[in-house]
Amino acid sequence: MDLTPVQDVKGALRNDFFHGYATAAPQVEGAWNKDGKGPSIWDTFGHTPGKVKDNSTADDAVRAYDFYREDVALMKSYGVNAYRFSLSWSRIIPLGGAEDPVNEQGIKFYQDLVDELLKNGITPFVTLFHWDVPQALEDRYGGMLNQEKFVPDFVRYARVCFESLPRVRHWITFNEPGVYSLAGYAAGVHAPARSSFRDLNEEGDSSTEPFIVSHTELVAHGHVSKLYREEFKEQQQGTIGITLHGNWSEPYDEEDPRDQEAAERAREFEIAWFADPLYKTGDYPASMRAQLGDRLPRFTPEESKLVLGSSEFYGMNSYTTFFVQHKDTPPDINDHKGNVHIHDTNSKGVSRGEESDTAWLRMAPGGFRKLLNWIWNRYHVPIYITENGTTAKGETAPTPEVLNDQFRIRFFEGYVGGIARAVKEDGVDIRSYFAWTFTDNWGKFSTINSSRSVTDKHRMGCWLL
């Protein structure tokens, strides 16, 4: 683990580097049915018995809707210069559709939040979609499973946002489109809770639907990006992109060519699935087509042209590293990882990192730096790190020792130090760092398949830079 004192990279980051926190509307706002807001698929999910392990809901969350001024004051006291948050589509257009009425109270909330941030010297980074499709659109036509109907609804929603928030200069269309697809349509443990597993979900097809939904997300992003660049960019002087998830995949046996290939294939299935169409080829990776065949949608020439180059930066959410080993057996029809084994230790017994309070999330700053280089070398676009952070063991019932938070301090020393070294020593163009997250929130690690729930209602600034 690279924990060299940060003094050796002092001054490595840009003078205009953005640093702050990231949140998501469904996890912090609360006020789920207040002032005209309509229900989202996450409201439905949280109110469906058995979907959330501890039966909690986001009805109140941490009440960011009511306490946004206090939140901004707290962020200012921490010295941040940026805040990434998402908009609730169903707060702005309660029924979601292109012909449905706009909720002026919902728009005013976000206008007031943006004004408060700017008044305090904090730059807003605004995400249009963080997994919360209006429930009305899910009911009408199946949400993102219907690209033809979804795209015009999303484009109209984006237009309303661009027109209503002209002071915003940094726009993100989708947050982690792959996680939305895989958790909601492959595993079925997130909204809208669809999969092939009938003991968990009544409907869905894990072998096809995640890829259909992801294709819709890419095409919808392309249309919204085109809208912004053609009608709003010149006047507002802003930028627009997308945020992708992805963790580093390290070969289980670094000397085995099969594991090296497996690790690269895993990176392609997880990251290049979206990034290659956006930044490199306008099409999905060949490794995905070889395994998935016609279950992977095909871009029309018009779609490929629309999507390629449509993101002006690489929005990067990343947390950890995994060891990846090849499989000799044919892939399962519901495999979404590239037909690989995933391990916590490598062939020599080396751990992938110190454990957190979340099973999959281990501290691995060395892999984080490798991933930054892999993305930069493959795509050569500026990187905005839009999420990174960790849980810590014992924090659900904190003791004085836990509140001292040495684990999280080490985590940030390693990861932020890795960013600085990637810039200074490797020449990677990195322009922001947003810690996940600003307050305790509902549900980031607490859906039905999780071992813990973060649903505290107190206000708590955490994970300081």
CB 241 within 8 A of CB 384: yes
Q: Mean pLDDT over all residues of the chain?
A: 93
Please name the helix (run of DSSP H) or strand (run of DSSP E) that holds residue 115, with its range, or none: helix 104-119
Q: How confident is the model at residue 6 (pLDDT cuts 50, 70, 90)?
A: low
DSSP-assigned beta bridge partners for residue 323: 250, 343
Whether the predicted pLDDT of 150 surpasses 60: yes
Give the integer Cα–Cα distance in Å for 112 and 106.
10
Catalytic residue among 29, 250, 312, 387: 387
CB under 8 Å to 267, separation ≥6 — which residues? 246, 248, 249, 374
The predicted pLDDT at position 321 comes to: 98
The predicted pLDDT at position 453 comes to: 28
Q: What is the DSSP string of 204-236?
A: --TTTHHHHHHHHHHHHHHHHHHHHHHHTHHHH
Give the integer Cα–Cα distance in Å for 163 and 170.
14
Catalytic residue among 176, 250, 268, 312: 176
Structural tokens at position 459? 């206000």
- What is the CA 370 to chain-centroid distance, rounded? 19
CA distance readout (Å), 442 to 55, 271, 401 = 12, 26, 24
Q: How confident is the model at residue 371 (pLDDT cuts 50, 70, 90)?
A: very high
Whether the predicted pLDDT of 120 surpasses 70: yes
Mean pLDDT (whole number) for 46-62: 93
Structural tokens at position 329? 């057996």
Of 62-71, 269-278, 453-462, where does mean pLDDT reach its minimum?
453-462
DSSP-assigned beta bridge partners for residue 250: 323
Active site residue 176: yes
CB 209 within 8 A of CB 294: no
Active site residue 148: no
Q: How confident is the model at residue 442 (pLDDT cuts 50, 70, 90)?
A: confident
Whether the predicted pLDDT of 274 surpasses 80: yes
Q: Bigger pLDDT: 296 or 402?
A: 296
How confident is the model over 202-231, as pLDDT tens digits?
A: 999 999 999 999 999 999 999 999 999 999
Surface-to-core class of residue 335, CB atoms within 10 Å of its CB (0-12 exposed, 13-18 middle, 19+ buried):
middle
Q: How confident is the model at residue 457 (pLDDT cuts 50, 70, 90)?
A: very low
Whether the predicted pLDDT of 327 surpasses 70: yes
Whether the predicted pLDDT of 375 surpasses 90: yes
Structural tokens at position 416? 């932020």
The predicted pLDDT at position 5 comes to: 53
Three-class SS state of 106 = helix
Structural tokens at position 126? 């605004």
CB under 8 Å to 9, separation ≥6 — which residues? 417, 420, 421, 423, 424
How confident is the model over 427-439, as pLDDT tens digits?
A: 999 999 999 999 8
Query: Is the peptide bond preceding residue 192 cis, with omega within 30 degrees of 0?
Result: yes
Of 248-252, 342-346, 390-394, where does mean pLDDT reach its minimum?
390-394
Residue 197 φ then ψ, to 5°: -95, 100
Mean pLDDT (whole number) for 222-243: 98
Please name the helix (run of DSSP H) or strand (run of DSSP E) that holds residue 150, with its range, or none: helix 147-164
Three-class SS state of 78 = helix
CA distance readout (Å), 274 to 207, 245, 285, 375, 405 = 18, 10, 9, 12, 35
Whether the predicted pLDDT of 181 surpasses 60: yes
Mean pLDDT (whole number) for 38-54: 95
Residue 446 φ then ψ, to 5°: -130, 25
Question: Residues 45, 49, 54, 58: is their CA dihedral positive or negative?
Answer: positive
The predicted pLDDT at position 443 comes to: 67
Classify strands 170-175 and 383-388 as parallel, antiparallel or unpaired: unpaired
Q: Bigger pLDDT: 97 or 5?
A: 97
φ/ψ bin of 146: left (φ > 0), alpha (ψ from -120 to 50), beta (otherwise): beta
The predicted pLDDT at position 449 comes to: 31
Q: Write down the architecture of domain 6-435 according to CATH.
A: Alpha-Beta Barrel (3.20)
